[in-house]
Chain A
Amino acid sequence: GCFVFKPSTKKRRLSEKTAHDFRSTSCDSEDTELRFVTYQSLWNQIKFETEQIQEDLNKQLLDNLVSFLSRSHSDFHEKTTKWTCRMKFREIPTAALVLGVNVTDHDLTFRSLSDVLQDNITPYVALLEAKDCPGIKNLMQKLMGQLMNCDIEVDSMEDEDCVQVSRNGIRCSMPSLISWYESVTKKTDSETPSKKRNSSSRHWQSPPVVVIFKDMESFTTKVLQDFIVISSQHISELPLVLIFGIATSPMIIHRLLPHSVSSLLCIELFQSLSCKEHLSTIIDKLLLTSRFPFKLGEKVLQVLINIFLYHDFSVQNFVKGFQLCIVEHFYSQPLSVLCCHLVDIKKRVYSLSHDQCENIRRLPSFRRYVEKQESGKQIELLTNDSFLKEETQKLLEDLHAYHENYVSVLRCLHVFTSSLPKYPLGKQIRELHCACLENRVWETEEYESSLQLARMLNKTDLLTMLQQCVEILMSSSGKEFDKAVEKLKEFLTQFQNLEEASQEQDVSVSSQKELQKKTDLYHLQKTLLELKESRRSKKLTKFEMLRFEVVDYIDRLVRKYLVPADNRTLHEIVYFNAATVLRGHLNAAPRTALHTALNNPHWYLKNQALKCDGGCISNKAPDICIVYKLHLECGRLINLVDWLEAFSTVVTAAEEPNADAASSDQVDDIIHARFIRAVSELELLGFIKPSKQKTDHVARLTWGGC
């Protein structure tokens, strides 16, 4: 069943040929190269960025782990003779690493972990996976293989015999491991003065052996228990450290291991960053920044986030989806040439061909823009290429500026909304971002209610928020914010002044109180109530006035800067909006596609004969559709004879029986054959299976669609 095809002339496809594939639609082929290059540089940047983020986020965790490891066996080589120490050494130091359910992201974490360990602590790191270790024997084999291999890498000498040893794997047992360890450490001891200086300075004389169980939950308990018991016997000779990768909760250790075994471990718990935080950081750094010219549309972002939240919690998949978006955008949108950094825009705009100019004119957002201009300019825009280019450049620069402002104002708004009770606009900035992209946020009810809530903020909160906003706006690269910053600062000082003023007021109130010192209970009550009343019904304090002003100002900023991107001219160039394509590729539903094809073949085969209304199906439909439709009417078992008969009734009725009785036998055979084919196709698709319960019966396997 396998066939290898080799080209006779060994033409090697070069990587630059990938660009050749980029030649998508026939209409334009000129800018494809450039588009591909742009794509590549952009994607590389983003990839680098995500890796950086991942590294930064894991740094804390890795640091903790490293310090734990260095602590665990620090006294190994010195005090082995001490009896107490030996007693203590019966316990294997263990790190339980809680990583969360997004299993797919773990690989990266482990990779960076082992890199860090190899750099800082020990060359002897073994990564074990449950699928490689069905038994203790396999586990030992795998472990020794990895350890000895890494030993070879460290030595990087012509240790031929060593290779052979590990290849043959004479006896994978603990004693052999220990003897190997001794020989290795001795060797490094003796070689320390020579060239191995740097490596020995990084590691200590007897570095610990780190064994990482990547997916602890899927290991068989017996294997784990055996391994732990055996190695705890030898812990005094072999400085072993275990790391458990845990996807669920730390409780699993105690469920997998009985007390007698888990008491041999000295467990310390480490918690990795939650994937949600990771995602927020990624979104923050990749999407809410003006560093990358490429943007995601609202629907697309929603699809990506939904896949993350409802399906896998995998940041990796999110980034993959992001990559797909970029590919799709640069592949399908010829104007994506212009989706580049601000510095390149001018050059690229002026090198546009006439066809590309036509493409620009065809953009819906550009048409809208043209319609708004006066007639003279309209004609210029539609006929004069160079004028169009100038205009395009200006518009693109506008768009760029819009992004810069958008991000800063969005952050400011988020500062306000994220602390409101009930979070009417969402807790995360991504929710706010989606809301702003979707439509005019200030027209939504949520925005209205959050403004109302903001009008009730207390002073300290308000002050800190304002402070934060000032910082955000100051740090943004947008030039238009000088005034806004000034205004906000003014608000701040006003609040400060207010504080003093209110203190004075307090003084005056207390003095008033003192005036009425001599009074009876009734009067006291009366005045107190009065005071309360007056406070409640007071028109508006200065503070409140100011608060209103602040909120109104923020509102004004929002209305000015958070215009949804669809309204901007030329947004098609930088925004990717084909959510359906994305969803089809990432989150496909094969079953529904089959369902549609079988129930409604007209969806795919555009033939009038197949068109019919509602749930029924034409009798001219493809055989498999008819057979499928008929089988829906059956119970658990289907009699093949009945089925065949029903099928032939339908088919003969459909075929306008011009055939006479004479040739009916021939036709029957053909129908029979078609029936067989259709039924076996249904079997291949998994709707039915042969059944032994009754002769000539098949069993139904699904219950949908009836």
Chain B
Amino acid sequence: MSRPEGTRSSRRSLQVKFVPDEDVLKHIVDDAGTKVRKDKAQLSVSVKRFVKKLENISDNEAQEILEEKNYVAALGICAQDPLGNGSNISGGEVYSFQTPKRSNKMAELASELAHTPEKNVAPDQSKCPEKMAKNKMFLLMHVFSLLFQNKKKEFVSTTPYRLRKRLAAPDPYLESESEYSASCSEEEDEEEQKKVIIVSSDQKTPAKTKAASTPPPRNSLAKKIKEQKMGSLVEEYFEAHSSSKVLTSDRTLQKLRKRTLNQQTLRDLLKNAPLAYAAEIRDLNKQHESLFSKWMLQLHLGFNIVLYGLGSKRDLLEKFRTSLLQDSVHLVVNGYFPSITVRSILNSITEEVLDHIGTFRSPLDQLEFITKRFKEDSSLELYVLIHNLDSQMLRGERSQQILAQLSSLPSIYLIASIDHINAPLMWDQAKLSLYNWLWYETTTFNPYVEETSFENSLLVQQSGSLALSSLTHVLHSLTLNARGIFRLLAQHQLEKKDNPSYPGLSFQDFYQQCREAFLVNSDLTLRAQLTEFRDHKLIRTKRGADGVEYLLIPVDDSTLTDFLEKEDEDV
């Protein structure tokens, strides 16, 4: 640009400047004025072109980003969906890194949650202070438990209980600190006591301020916050992954002095408890039920249907079955049932649907037979409903393969439900194309009553009743000596129950003990006996680091105690 400018000015004011050859030539040849102007235009055009080229290049780079955006946009267009299938969240929110957690954060959140509605809903003033106090107490309690845990004192776990008793007191929030320190000072020195006070007040304030200052002036701080976030994200990641130590309190359910619930009482209790939001849930289910005829149509057109979303879909499927499938042959599979296998599914098809008597060498043979029969007889139709296709027993690769092949038959209509968050990982492309799924989101918010009612899926209180009955049943079928052997092992294990790193009883020691009790006469007989136990899954063997075989009963201690007590009664 500057060059033509220069030439023009040189013509006017006769300054000495560098002038390129072409311009000189132009000057010499003829009517220079117009030419130069043209040249200038040309040059500027070329410059423009160059810029454009650059733009093109950067465009090209940007294109990829743009395409990515398009993809996200195209896949994320669900936001405007009125019924809403809840997929308008970005993946980053759902899948994120582990962040470090303070062990009392849960309590904080709980207390925060506990008085959130007081802000929104019309507050009941008279009850407020008490509640606040209660929350404070609760917090304090956790501080204590944390501290004590670090100190590894024995009395710790009892203290919260005592504190909790005090919560019922009418004026607990006055001078709570001194009370606690008093309760501690029996065993703690003064220094420790101070620390408790400091920490407790520390813990209290953030919780309060957090609640108070939720909406900060965002705009000014936004950038800073973001930067900090990035920095802290990295730090947090490494903090969370640095130590393998787990910081949780040591309290156990046993010390809670709560009677353990068994299946029956649990069920009764829950029956009494009213279901929250029953009306809304009914509405939600109504919406899903309106899709029944559509499902039927799509099943007939060769698709299979899979339901996902929070809440038990059992009732929904049941309703589908009773309302639409009454006139046709159908098979209901309760996948959550702990002893379900693909074999039993195939058996019920061959035996009851196809009325075939006879056995098969392998599930594959059976599948082949079924395929053949269904292909031969085009009038044969079968609806298969599977509750929890992703259950423990059915999620294996082979079972899924067989089910997929089954579902790909044109006259078998499959409708199934999945619940596990990783359920879609069961299927690879080949299986997916066999299944030919249509996905339906059916969030019902119904409680998973049936699905969780089986022993193995419940981790909490009523553990062991099934295990106990199976233990006694198996042992009753064994010889007296065998029972003695098992008792010996159980007793030994109970003696060592306080040792968390108890590896099990070594085989040699066990043999010695059995010999002394006149239960076996050689290690071969003991081994034979142990094999039998192992076949019934009564014991587990582990090889230690030194190559010694250790024996362990894979049942928790309370069940084992119960078992021994029962045995004593019997004998």
Binding site for B on A (CB under 8 A): 1-7, 9, 11-13, 15, 18, 21-24, 102-104, 131-132, 299, 302-303, 306, 310, 312, 314, 316-317, 320, 323-324, 327, 331, 422, 449, 526, 529-530, 533, 536-537, 579-580, 583-598, 600-601, 603-607, 609-610, 612, 616-620, 622-624, 626, 629-631, 633-647, 649-650, 652-654, 656-657, 661, 668-670, 672-674, 676-677, 679-681, 683-687, 690, 693-698, 702-706
Tell me whether B452 and A681 are in contact (CB under 8 A). Answer: yes
Residue of chain B at shortest CB distance from A658: B127
With contacts A585-B439, A635-B103, A656-B124 taken as known, whether A597 is within 8 angstroms of B445 at the C-beta atoms is yes
Tell me whether A696 and B337 are in contact (CB under 8 A). Answer: no
With contacts A11-B327, A606-B283, A645-B107 taken as known, whether A681 is within 8 angstroms of B246 at the C-beta atoms is no
**CA of A624 to CA of B142, assembled, Å:** 23
**CA of A32 to CA of B421, assembled, Å:** 39
A-B contact pairs, 23 of them (CB 8 A): A3-B332, A7-B329, A302-B74, A303-B75, A324-B438, A583-B78, A584-B87, A591-B421, A595-B93, A597-B311, A604-B280, A620-B276, A623-B276, A630-B109, A642-B248, A642-B249, A646-B110, A649-B134, A656-B127, A677-B266, A679-B460, A683-B457, A684-B420
| A-contacting residues, B305-343, CB 8 Å | 308-311, 321, 325-335, 337, 339-340
Tell me whether B116 and A605 are in contact (CB under 8 A). Answer: no
Residues of chain B with a CB closer than 8 A to A302's CB: 70, 74
With contacts A612-B116, A684-B452 taken as known, whether A537 is within 8 angstroms of B247 at the C-beta atoms is no
The contact string, 1 if C-beta is below 8 Å from chain A, for chain B 56-79, is: 100110000000001100110110
Tell me whether A650 and B110 are in contact (CB under 8 A). Answer: yes
Tell me if B491 counts as interface (CB < 8 A to partner A). Answer: no
A/B pair count, beta carbons within 8 Å: 399
Q: Indicate which residue in A595, A603, A670, A685 contacts B272 across the interface (CB closer than 8 Å).
A: A670
With contacts A593-B308, A649-B135 taken as known, whether A1 is within 8 angstroms of B294 at the C-beta atoms is no
Tell me whether A7 and B326 are in contact (CB under 8 A). Answer: yes
> 9 smallest A-B Cβ distances: which pairs?
A596-B86, A1-B337, A588-B439, A653-B114, A646-B110, A597-B310, A104-B433, A1-B340, A21-B297
Residues of chain A with a CB closer than 8 A to B326's CB: 7
Tell me whether A422 and B56 are in contact (CB under 8 A). Answer: yes
Q: Indicate which residue in B86, B251, B331, B432 contacts A593 across the interface (CB closer than 8 Å).
A: B86
With contacts A580-B78, A673-B266 taken as known, whether A649 is within 8 angstroms of B114 at the C-beta atoms is yes
Residues of chain A with a CB closer than 8 A to B56's CB: 422, 449
Q: Indicate which residue in B108, B247, B252, B301 contacts A635 across the interface (CB closer than 8 Å).
A: B247
- Kindly provide the distance from the CB of A635 to the nearest chain B CB, expressed in whole angstroms: 4
Tell me whether B101 and A2 are in contact (CB under 8 A). Answer: no
Residue of chain A at shortest CB distance from B246: A637
Residues of chain B with a CB closer than 8 A to A604's CB: 84, 86, 280, 284, 443, 445
Residue of chain A at shortest CB distance from B141: A645
Tell me whether A584 and B86 are in contact (CB under 8 A). Answer: no
Tell me whether B138 and A580 are in contact (CB under 8 A). Answer: no
Contacts A593-B310, A626-B113, A684-B448 aside, 15 further interface pairs with beta carbons under 8 A come to A1-B334, A4-B331, A18-B297, A23-B293, A580-B81, A592-B86, A595-B94, A604-B445, A609-B121, A633-B106, A645-B138, A673-B261, A683-B458, A704-B96, A705-B96
Residues of chain B with a CB closer than 8 A to A21's CB: 293-294, 296-297, 300
**CA of A704 to CA of B110, assembled, Å:** 19
Tell me if B115 counts as interface (CB < 8 A to partner A). Answer: yes
Residue of chain A at shortest CB distance from B390: A686
- Kindly provide the distance from the CB of B56 to the nearest chain A CB, expressed in whole angstroms: 6
Tell me whether B281 and A605 are in contact (CB under 8 A). Answer: yes
Residues of chain B with a CB closer than 8 A to A103's CB: 429-430
Residues of chain B with a CB closer than 8 A to A23's CB: 293
Residue of chain B at shortest CB distance from A651: B114
Tell me whether A705 and B93 are in contact (CB under 8 A). Answer: yes
Tell me whether B109 and A646 are in contact (CB under 8 A). Answer: yes
Tell me if B273 counts as interface (CB < 8 A to partner A). Answer: yes
Tell me whether A633 and B108 are in contact (CB under 8 A). Answer: yes
The contact string, 1 if C-beta is below 8 Å from chain A, for chain B 350-373, is: 001100000000001000000000
Tell me if B33 counts as interface (CB < 8 A to partner A). Answer: no
- Kindly provide the distance from the CB of B108 to the nearest chain A CB, expressed in whole angstroms: 7
Residues of chain B with a CB closer than 8 A to A630's CB: 106, 109-110
Tell me whether A597 and B94 are in contact (CB under 8 A). Answer: no
Tell me whether B308 and A590 are in contact (CB under 8 A). Answer: yes
Tell me whether B328 and A704 are in contact (CB under 8 A). Answer: no
